[in-house]
Structure formats: structure tokens, C-alpha cells
Amino acid sequence: MPSAEEQKEVMGRQPELSQQSLDGFDPNTLTPLSEDVISRQATVNIGTIGHVAHGKSTVVKAVTGINPVKTSKEKKRNITIKLGYANAKIFKCPTCPPPQCFIPAMFNTEDAMRCKVEGCESICKLVRHISFVDCPGHDLLMATMITGASVMDCALLLIAANETCPQPQTSEHLASIEIMKLDHIIILQNKIDIIMKDGTASQQYDQIKDFVQGTKAEKSPIIPISAQLGYNIDVLCDYICRIPIPIRDFTCPPKMSIVRSFDINKPGCSPSDLQGGVVGGSLLSGVLRVGEKVEIRPGMSGKDKNTGKRKCTSIMSRIVSLKAEQNDLLYAVPGGLVAVGLKCDPSLTRDDHLNGQFLGHPNKLPEVVEEVVIKFYLLRRLLGVVSDNTKKEKVSSLKKEEILLINISANSVGGKVIEKKKSMAKIQFLMPACASVGDKITLSRKIVKNWRLIGWGEIDKVTKVQQ
Amino acid sequence: MVDNCQIQCWYPQFKKITFKVKIIELPSEFRNYLEEDGVFMPQNYYVEDDQDSNSDEESIESEDKTPKYDFSALEEEIKATVDEYDEKVFIKLNWSAPRDANWLVPNLHCESTQEIYSLLKSSVFISHDVSAAYQGCVDHEGNSAPEKLYLALKKYHHNVRTHRENEFRCFVKENTLICVTQRDTQVYYPSLETQLEQFKPLILDFFNDHLQGHFADPSFVFDIYIDIPPNNKVWLVDFNPWHSKTDPGLLDWSEVMAHPTSDPVEWRIITEETGVRANEMSQYKVPAEIVEAPNSDEVKQFFDDMRGATSE
């Protein structure tokens, strides 16, 4: 654990935020609304779903106050793929009436923010810290689908007010909400300023109502907004604050799904200036603390020179820093993406080496395996995809020596079919992966130009990799 | 002009300023091998039609079947090159490297023909080179596939793969360098801002000395890697067509197109901490259904069934 001085130094970099401390720290006392937590880290994940042209980035910008990607010259384009995560705080003014009392602010805004209304200037209360997840990364999305546990607590579904509803993509977006297991949806009728005058807004409202009839979004609020003009953003914040607080278990051992890993050192810098490796990911459960020992599995793999077999060494390290966006933390809870600075050789984390791996307490993570026996189920025919004109071909059985794409949690590995008997198959992982008996995996085959789902498997037996 | 960006076309002229590469012309059947469904080693595709085993009966195992492909001559050549390059190569087809398939072979660092074949077979980028490379090209009517396929084996340079902040994409319009962007568009490198000032003259000199007026087209895009100190040597990595299909990095094609050649070079890097972002390659690590998910009724059903299934 870092000393009291060290903790003070880290926290003191942002004196305007709550000063976390690890002395006498008890995760049992924390909730996703604890001031010490939300002062620095987001605890509610909100997906933004909608067409780029419907003003997705503008909505995120209107709430977070930040542009998705900062480059040396401000970009004018709305780039969805490059967005990612953006965090924001929501404050409540004790004096102003609702909904004006709900004020969005940047992730690093001081806790004692003053209301901006002229003549009011009351000290506001921080009520939420949210993380917009535009594109959580397909690996995390896949993990959601496999395990059924969503990475998002709520979704904003964007509809452009100047178009009739439904647009073809809107149905797709609604479907993707269903698939991501999202229960809480807020529908935004964006660009309301364009149609405010001609009275078509209520007409579209009715169209939307009809459209969501019988879907998960049936009872969702529909809020007319103009992200461009900042109109009704307070109403949106009000509704965001009404989302039930996600239930999180802070007391179980931490488990983080790594989605990025990098080395931020300047090439060729001297060893004394070298900073340790950094991994970024989504904390699925538990709490991580600065100073504690962690393990990354499967870790580094190499080949045995003599046998040619893959060997694996998990990475044992210590957390030296935790960050949510640019806010320093002493402890991290589930919510948004967290960057974990480690005391390990930065070359281990370079270039996304560790993507798909898990970080947690030593000896608390799933076993690292090189071979699994699965009971498999194959689709009769391929599912349809738009980009491919292939008809819904029949799916042929697994064949010996065939290499499949195996998705297991947020990880992707090549898997070679070694043996097959009826509905059981032995699969050799071309890279060691974390897996446990009972885990579900998806099986995909390269067909024409793409990897296509052909079935799934349930792990029946595992063969651990030699350490 | 897309043709000029193929490695077998530009390499002979620019070999002095790029990494050591061995280019092998692939036998014509290799295209068929690459286009076969499934990922197998060449010897595991058989002459007889074994696709009809839709019944769940055990198909007769392969012992008495004749392998469909025999690339032993090619295999020898690859092996010899891998040996020569210290058992570490980075591969590329006419245009593309199988960067999307790095989940299969970490860092795309190949040591054996098996790894090379499985990467070529698994990569969506390679499939595109093989069958649809000329899609969207105005100067290429008819066939959308290249006539001949070439495999380039590059000597593996560890630093190139691991110091992505030293990689840049440069845009040349009518033989004038107009824009340069950080190649890794996702990570903020704190040191890059100061480094860039040292890099600027290196990049300009490199362009003026080696590329200006030398490439087959007046407008093109090239990628470079700058060696880590103390070397600071600039290496040519690749050429790409001047076309909106070429990834513009942190730039926008509309601004690149509109940039007057008389204006100073536009340098674009990420200048602020961005927080952790999803990896842009993550879409290639999952089946296409997940990325396109439009007919999600089916996909939803699939995952519902999968999660619901329990072994009894």
C-alpha cells in the first residue's frame, strides 16, 4: 500500500476532487453513488445507439462538454468508431427548480461546482458520474452476448426529429438494444429545433410510440432535444438520474477484462525514466487498489525451443496507478474503462499484447488452458449478414485439423479441431486462454471472406497449460 | 494506380529505403487454396468432395484421400527465407498485411509455414486482396481480383511493431507532401508532441530525397517508420493509393483533398490524453454477425439458445 504521503501526493494533484484514502478502506461501505467514488470515476455506463447522422456525437458532447477525439486540429467530423468512452458528471442545484437544476459537467469538474444560473450560484451536489459507451469494442460486446451480463446500464436511442420514424437503421438499433440485454432505454428525438415550428414533432412522437409498441422500449420516455442548441439536455440529465442504480458487488475478488495494453514510454528513454506497463479495461466486479498485487492471465506465452509447445507465464505485478479518464484514483470500482499502471516491464504491455486477458488478484483467476473438450452444437444454416451475398449455406460438420475462431468471454483465439466424436470435440487452443469447465464458447468458421458463426460449445474438460 | 501500390511493383525501385523483403510469386492454385472455405493447411484439403457430410455420421477419415494441393516448392522457398531472416518474418500479400488476424498469431510474428498459411487463410484483409482488391476503383474495369498473387516476407523488425507512435501516414498531392498523420489513431503518446518537432525535418528530407517525383503516380499516400534513437533512420513501410478507401488516420479525406499544395504541411497527432478506448481491430476478432448484427432476431436467438443450454 502506498504511504499516507504518497496517497496525499496523488490525490493532491486534483485538490478540487474528493480525496480518496486507502487507510482503513472498506469496500463494503462503497456504493455506485459514494461521493469519494463518483468524484473521480464513472459508475453508470450508458450506451448511445443511433445513426451518426442523427447527432450521436453532438449529444455526447452536449452532456460531457468534450469532443470525442482531440487532435492537433479540432476535427469537424463526427467519427463514431473513434469515439469510445466519454465520462461526465451530473450535478444538482439545490435552489433551481427541476429540470434546470440538473447540470451536466466534465468528468474533472470540482465537487463544489457553483450553479451557472445568474443570481443563483448555489453550490451544487454531485449526483451521478456517467460513462458514455459509444462503441464498447466488439470484444466486450461479444463477452456480453456470451455471458449475458451487459456492459451497459442504460441506452440512449437516438432518432432524428426531421425524419419519419422508423428509419431502417432504427429497427436495427432497437434490435441491438435487445441483444445487449439493456433494460433501461431513453429515446431522444434529436434535432427538434429543425421541426419545432411546423408542428410535426408531435406527429413523430406518435410514430415513435407506435414503433416501440411491444418492444423493450415500450415504456421508455421520449425526450425531444436539440443537442446542437443544448435544448432539454437538463431533462435528459434528470431522466439519467432516474435510472436505477446498477447493483455492483464490490466485495468479491476483482476481475478486469483487458481491452487495451500499451507502453507510453518515449522510445529509447533511459531506464531510470521508464514507466511501467499500462493496461486498460472494464472492471467486471470487485475493487482494485493502488499498491496491491495483481496477476494477469494467461500472461506471456512463448514456445518451448525443444518441444515447440506453447508455454505460458502469467504476469505478476503491482498496481502503481489507477486512472479513470485523466482522474487519478486510489481505488477503482466497476464503471467506464479504467487504466491500470503496473510495476512491470512495459514491453510486456506493448501494442495490445494483453487484449482479451484477465487481471485480478493472484491465484484468483480462471485456469490457463491449452486444450478443451467441448460438447458442441452447430447451426443448420449460416445466419444472414448484409455485406455478404452468400445464401444461407448449410453448415457442414467440424473437421479434424480445421482451425476455428473461438470466442471465449472477451478473448479470441484460434482453435484447432484435434478429435471429433458425435457432438464432442477436442480443440487445441493455438494461444493459451483462460477457461473453466462449463464456460460457453462460440465457434466460427471462415466462409468466403468472413468469419461466420457456425455454432457454440460448452466446455466439458480442460487441459492446463504448463507454466 | 492501385497497381503501383503493390509491393512487388514498388519494392525493386525503393528497396534501399525499406526493410529487407523477399517477394515470392505464388503458384496459381494458391489462389484457389486461399479461397477455399475453412482454415486448413494445404494438405488437409482433398480432391474428393468432402463437403457433403451434412449428416452427423462420422465421415470416413482422410487416409485414402488425395490432397488437393501440393506447394512443396513454395514451402521450401518460404522455409529458406524464414531461416535467412532469423526465424521471424512479417508477411504481406500484394497490398495488405493480415493485421486483422493478430489474434491468431500474436504480433504477426511468423516462424513457420503453418503460421504463415493460417494467417493468410484467416485474414479478412488478405481475402480482400485476393478477390476484391479493385472494388471501387475507377481505373479498373472488369475483374476485381489481381492477376497474380505475391507473398512478401519481411524481416521482422521488433521495434516497428512495438513503437507505433513512430509510424506516420503521409499524403502526397501532385508530388507535394501536404499532410502527415499519426498512424496509431487511438493512443495518446505524451512524448510525441516534442518528438514531432525532431521528426518533421526527417520526414520532409526523406520525402524530398527519395520519393518526390519518383513514385509512379503524382498523388499517393505512403507510410513511414522512424527508428528509435539514436538511429532516427526513416524507413519506407508502404504505399497506398490516393483514394478515399485509404484510411486517412486522424485526417478526413475531404480536408486532405481540399488542402492546397501551396499551404504548409498539416501535421496531425493526438495531443490530449484520451482515456482508454476500444481497439479499432476488435471487430475482426469476432464473427461478422456480431459486427453487422442487423438480422439480430437470429443472432439473439442464437445467443439465447447458447446461454440457455445446459448439459444434463
pLDDT at A467: 65
Report the gap between the CA of B13 and the closest CA in chain A (Å): 30
b/e per residue, A409-422, with b = 16+ CB within 10 A? bbbbbbbbbeebee
Give tens-digit pLDDT for A43-89.
998 887 776 556 667 777 788 775 544 444 444 333 322 334 578 99
Query: Does A403 contact B39 at a Cβ distance shorter than 8 Å?
Result: yes
Q: Among A412, A414, A460, whose Cβ lies nearest the Cβ of B286? A: A412
Statement to judge: residues B30 and B124 lie in one domain = yes
Supply the mean pLDDT for chain A: 84
Can you tell me the distance from the alpha carbon of B173 to that of B259, in angstroms, rounded to the nearest whole number? 9
pLDDT for position B308: 82
Nearest to B229 among A262, A268, A385 (CB): A268
- The answer on B90 and B30 residing in a single domain is yes
Same domain? B119 vs B245? no
Q: Using the beta-carbon criterion (under 8 Å), do B302 and A431 form an inter-chain contact?
A: no
| Domain identity same for B260 and B165 | yes
Instruction: Round to whole Å and give the CA distance between A43 and A184.
Output: 15
Q: What is the mean pLDDT of residues A232-260?
A: 89
Total count of domains within chain B = 2
The Cα of B269 is separated from the nearest Cα of chain A by a number of Å equal to: 6
Q: How far apart (Å, rounded) are the C-alpha atoms in residues A337 and A355?
A: 14
Residue-level pLDDT at A458: 95
| Lowest-confidence segment of A63-72, A88-97, A298-307, B215-224 by average pLDDT | A63-72
Q: What is the pLDDT of residues A199-208, one digit of tens each?
A: 777 788 888 8
In a domain, B281, yes or no: no
In a domain, B252, yes or no: yes
Mean per-residue pLDDT for B106-133?
90
Confidence of residue A268 (pLDDT cuts 50, 70, 90): low
Q: Is residue B303 part of a domain?
A: yes
pLDDT value at B251 more than 80: yes
Determine the pLDDT at residue A263.
77
Q: Which of A87, A339, A414 sits opposite B104 (nearest CB)?
A: A414
DSSP per-residue string spanning chain B: -TGGGSHHHHHHHHGGGB--EEEEEPPTHHHHHHHSSSB--GGGSBSS--TTTTSSSPPPPGGGSPBS---HHHHHHHHHHHHHTTT-EEEE-SS---GGGTTTSGGG-B-SHHHHHHHHHH-HHHHHHHH-TTTT-TT--S--S-SS-EEEEEEP-HHHHH-GGGEEEEEEETTEEEEEEES--S---TTHHHHHHHHHHHHHHHIIIIITTTSSSSSEEEEEEEPPTTT--EEEEEEEESSTTS--TTS-HHHHHH--TTSPPEEE-B-S-------GGGGGGS-HHHHH-TTHHHHHHHHHHHHH----
pLDDT class of B56 with cuts at 50, 70, 90? very low
Give residue-wise pLDDT tens across range B223-250: 999 987 777 889 999 999 998 888 888 8
Confidence band for A172, pLDDT divided at 50, 70 and 90 = low
pLDDT tens for each residue of A396-437 = 999 999 999 999 988 899 999 999 999 999 999 998 899 999
Mean pLDDT taken over chain B = 84
Q: Give the model confidence (pLDDT) of B13-55 as tens digits.
A: 999 999 889 999 999 999 999 999 999 999 998 876 545 444 4
* Chain A residue at shortest CA distance from B270: A71
Decide: residue A302, CB within 10 A, 0-12 exposed, 13-18 middle, 19+ buried. Answer: exposed
**Of all residues in chain A, what percent carry a pLDDT higher than 70?**
85
Pick the CATH number of A4-27+249-360 from 3.20.20.70, 3.10.129.10, 1.20.1250.20, 2.40.30.10: 2.40.30.10
Q: Domain range spanning residue B68?
A: 20-156+292-311
Q: State residue A79's pLDDT score.
A: 32
> What architecture is the A368-464 domain classified under in CATH?
Beta Barrel (2.40)
Q: In this structure, what C-alpha cell is assigned to residue A145?
A: 452476448
Cβ distance B165 to A69 less than 8 Å, yes or no, reads no
Q: Per residue in A117-127, pLDDT tens?
A: 888 999 999 99
* A66 vs A69: CA distance, rounded Å: 9
Tell me what pLDDT residue B298 has.
81
Which one has a higher pLDDT value, B187 or B10?
Answer: B10
pLDDT in tens, A149-161: 677 788 888 887 7
Q: Let me know whether B92 and B209 are in one domain.
A: no
What's residue A153's pLDDT?
85
Interface A:B, Cβ pairs < 8 A: 281
Pick the CATH number of A44-242 from 3.40.50.300, 3.40.50.720, 1.10.760.10, 3.40.50.10490: 3.40.50.300
Per CB-CB distance under 8 Å, the chain A contacts of B107 are 351, 353
On the CB side of A116, CA atoms within 13 Å amount to 7
pLDDT band for position B294 (cuts 50, 70, 90) = very low
pLDDT tens for each residue of A443-463: 999 998 899 999 999 999 999
The answer to whether residues B65 and B183 belong to one domain is no
A199 exposure class (CB count in 10 Å sphere: 0-12, 13-18, 19+): exposed
Top-ranked range on mean pLDDT: pick from A170-184, A318-332, B183-197: A318-332
Domain identity same for B26 and B152: yes
Averaged pLDDT for residues A213-235 = 86
A152 near A174, Cβ under 8 Å? no
**What pLDDT is recorded for position A387?**
56
User: Does B309 contact A377 at a Cβ distance shorter than 8 Å?
Assistant: yes
d(CA A241, nearest CA chain B) in Å: 24
In B, which residues are within 8 Å of A139 by CB distance? Answer: 278-279, 282, 285-286
Cβ-based neighbour number of residue A256 at 10 Å: 26
- List chain A domain ranges: 4-27+249-360, 44-242, 368-464
Note the pLDDT of residue B295: 46
Question: What is the predicted pLDDT for the residue at A175?
Answer: 66
Chain B residue with CA closest to A354: the answer is B106
State mean pLDDT over A254-261. Answer: 88
CA dihedral B92, B94, B99, B101 (to 10 degrees): -90
Candidates A403, A440, A441, partner chain B, best to mutate (most B CBs within 10 A): A403
Per-residue model confidence (pLDDT) at position B127: 92
> Are the beta carbons of A446 and B38 separated by less than 8 Å?
yes
Contacts of A135 in chain B (CB under 8 A): 278
Over 50: is that where the pLDDT of A243 sits? yes
Query: For A71, which of B51, B230, B268 is closest by C-beta distance?
Result: B268
Q: Which of B128, B185, B266 sits opposite A82 (nearest CB)?
A: B185
Instruction: Compute how many other C-beta atoms are within 10 angstroms of the C-beta atom of residue A230.
Output: 13
Instruction: Say whether pLDDT at A22 is over 70.
Output: yes
Q: Which of A380, A373, A378 is nearest to A439 (CA)?
A: A373
Percent of chain B with pLDDT over 70: 84
**Per the CB < 8 Å rule, is B277 touching A384?**
no
For A398-441, give the DSSP string: P-TT-EEEEEETTEEEEEEEEEEETTEEEEEEEEEEE--TT-EE
Same domain, B131 and B181: no
What's residue A459's pLDDT?
Answer: 96
**B139, part of any domain:** yes
Amino acid occupying residue A308 = G
**Rounded to an integer, what distance in angstroms lies between the CA atom of residue A342 and that of residue A350?**
12
Element housing A125 (H / E):
strand A125-133
B75-92 per-position pLDDT tens digit: 999 999 999 998 889 999
Nearest to B293 among A176, A394, A423 (CB): A176
Q: Do domains A4-27+249-360 and A368-464 have the same CATH topology?
A: yes
Contact call for A353 and B279, based on CB within 8 A:
no
Output the 3-class SS for B69-105: CCCHHHHHHHHHHHHHCCCCEEEECCCCCCHHHCCCC
The total of other beta-carbon atoms located within 10 Å of residue B52's CB is 10
Q: CB count, 10 Å around CB of B29?
A: 13
Q: pLDDT tens digits, residue range A7-21?
A: 999 999 999 999 999
Same domain flag for B147 and B60: yes
**Do B183 and B137 belong to one domain?**
no
What number is the average pLDDT over the span A219-239?
Answer: 89
Q: Is the ipTM value over 0.90, yes or no?
A: no
